[in-house]
Amino acid sequence: MNDGFSRHPDFMGLIQKEFPLLYQQRHRRSLRHRERLDLSSVTRKNIYVLDTAIVSLGADLSDGRSAEVAILGSGAILGVCQLYRWSAPPYFATVRQAGDVWELDLATLKAEFANSPVLIEQLGFAMEHIFVQATRSAICNRLHHIDQQLAKTLLLYQDLTARHDLQVTQQELAELLGVRREGVTQAMGKLQAMGAIETSRGRIYVHHRQQLEQHACECYRPISASVHSSFTAEPMQAGVCRASQRRFKNTMSAADKAKTPEIKPALISALP
C-alpha cells in the first residue's frame, strides 16, 4: 500500500533535513579497494550509507568458497537489518571501488526509526533493492549463460560508476559471478570480438553499450529499474564520457588508440 511517501532521491539529504541530531553525529569513512567488511561487526554501532564507494555483497561457504549476490553504489545502505533486531547479517561486503561511506549512529537511528514512517519506508526501499538483486542473482546463476551474466554485470558497473572505462579486473568479475577466471576471460573475448568492449591493463572500456544491452540477460532490467527508483542515479553526461574515454586512451598503445572509436552522441543519449 502506498501511504503517500515516495522514494527520496537523496537519503543523506533527508537525514540532514528531518533528523538533525543524526546528521550531526554522522562520520565519513574511507574504504580501500578490495577491503572486506564483516557486516556483523561493522554495523553493530552504525549503519553505512554508500557515497562514492561501490561494494558487493556475498556469503561464505564452510569449504572456503564464496558467492556474491549484489553490487551496490551511491545511496545504498548496509546494516538496515540491525534496526529490526535481527541476528548478525549473514553476508560480507567487498569494496569493489575505493571511496567513502557515511556512518550513521545506530542507537540514534533506532530512536528516530520507531516514530518515523518516512524513515521506515526509505530504509525499506534500501532492503527491497538488495532483495531484488539477491533473487535475480539466484535465477541468473541457475538459468543464464556466463556471457549474458558478464554483459549484465558490466552494465551494472557502468551504471554505478557513470564511466565508460571500468576499473575492474577479470579476477574481480569472476568473484562477482562465482565462476572461474578462465570462464570470464572466454566470455570477455566474445564481447571484445563483437566490438562491445576493449580491455587494457586491468581496465575494461565499453565501446558500445547497446551491444552489451542486447547481449545481457533479462535480469539487468529489473535490477537497473530498482537502482533508479531507489537511489540517486544521475544520467551519464556527455562530458564525463568523453573525459573518461580520453583517460582510457592515454593508457593504450598507439595501435590500440587508432582502433578506438569516439563515443557516438546517440549512444550517450541512450544511456539510462
In this structure, are residues 68 and 94 in contact, taking their beta carbons and an 8 Å threshold? yes
CA 250 to each of CA 1, 104, 206, 246: distance values in angstroms, whole numbers, following the listed order: 52, 40, 15, 6
217 near Zn ion (CB under 5 A): yes
Residue 218: CB minimum distance to Zn ion, A: 6
Amino acid making up residue 180: R
Q: Which residues, at least 6 apart from 133, have a Cβ–Cβ distance to it below 8 Å?
A: 57, 69, 70, 71, 72, 223, 226
**Contact pattern for Zn ion over residues 167 through 206, marking x by CB under 5 A:** ----------------------------------------
Told to check if 42 binds Zn ion by CB under 5 A, we report: no
Stretch that binds Zn ion, among 138-146, 160-168, 240-248, 261-269 (CB under 5 A): 138-146
CB 53 within 8 A of CB 31: yes
Among 70, 219, 233, 241, binds Zn ion (CB under 5 A): 219
Residue labelled with grid coordinates 533528523: 19
Q: Is 154 in the site for Zn ion (CB under 5 A)?
A: no
Residue placing its CB nearer to Zn ion in the complex, 25 or 141: 141
Size of the site for Zn ion (CB under 5 A): 4
Instruction: Report the residue number, 66 or 135, with the smaller CB distance to Zn ion.
Output: 135
Return the residue of 26, 33, 144, 228 that touches Zn ion, per CB under 5 A.
144
d(CA 220, CA 156): 7
Instruction: Write the Ramachandran bin of 19: left for phi over 0, alpha for psi from -120 to 50, otherwise beta.
Output: beta
Binding site for Zn ion (CB under 5 A): 140, 144, 217, 219
